Amino acid sequence: MCNLYSHTSNVQAIIDLVRATRSLVGNLPPQPGIFPDYEAPIVRTGADGAREIAMARWGMPSSQLALMEAAKKRAAKLEAKGQAFDFKELLRLEPDAGTTNIRNTSSKHWQRWLGPANRCVVPFTSFSEFNKAAGGDVWFAFSEERPLAVFAGIWTTGWTCVRKIKTGVETIDLFGFLTTEPSEPVASIHPKAMPVILTEPEEIEIWMTAPWQDAKVLQRPLVAGALQIVARGVKSDATPELKKQGAADLSRNIIRE
């Protein structure tokens, strides 16, 4: 399961890659570490049919079954303490941190979002899979330069839920991306899954516009060796240029101090 990725590109690069015609994100800063529930850029089809760059929070709605089971566990704990509760209200306010990765697209829970209107692509420059024996977070990219690429994703708008108890009920735009069986070098680090990555402009067009029977064939692993390991043991990853810039900024701060 991929629960950490990086995007250190820029708006113009995204526009050039995915043929977007509108940006709603303003000046997009680098994000060398994107975690679940963070806001991050996606490219979606707007209400007027235009392809646009927008921000959404990472983690699609979890299934009603998962929320029901979580609410039952909370109810059992309250019962054990002798506390009264309204189960319907408990279920309504059950925190849903979201589902970041989508594998089983035959599930009824996901089928409502598989049409072109709810498909998106998620820009990234590297992604991490965790393996303690291999050094912790292991980062993958197409090269050391971390060129821009995209995951095949889905999104939904105006979803009302409780993400965290402290923030209460929110209405937000959400996204997640598909996973599939892994190829090397990801398979040796995380044998269960890897994100679905689109590598050609034609694949992006199919994912964004085609009927599901044509788009679903893109839920497949990359050719073995397409990716490489670019970092280990860190919770954020950046392009070499950004790393140099960070070192230069640190040096200037030291001189000023």
| pLDDT for res 238 | 84
Question: Side chain identity at 203, as an amino acid letter?
Answer: E
The dihedrals phi and psi of 51, each to the nearest 5 degrees, come to -85, 120
Answer yes or no: CATH 3.90.1680.20 is held by domain 5-61+96-256.
yes
The residue with tokens 């030291």 is 254
Model's pTM, two decimal places?
0.89
Q: What is the pLDDT of residues 119-163, one digit of tens each?
A: 999 999 999 999 999 999 999 999 999 999 999 999 999 999 999
Residues 6+ apart with CB under 8 A from 22: 46, 50, 51, 52, 53
Query: Rounded to a whole number, what is the largest CA-CA distance in the chain?
Result: 61
For the chain, 257 residues long, give each residue's pLDDT as a single digit of tens.
799 999 999 999 999 999 999 999 998 999 999 999 999 999 999 999 999 999 999 999 998 888 888 889 888 888 899 888 888 887 888 889 899 999 999 999 999 999 999 999 999 999 999 999 999 999 999 999 999 999 999 999 999 999 988 889 999 999 999 999 999 999 999 999 999 999 999 999 999 999 999 999 999 999 999 999 999 999 999 877 776 665 444 333 333 33
**Tens of pLDDT, residues 91-109:** 888 889 899 999 999 999 9
CA distance 161 to 138: 32
Q: Tell me, what's the pLDDT at 53?
A: 98
pLDDT of residue 71: 85
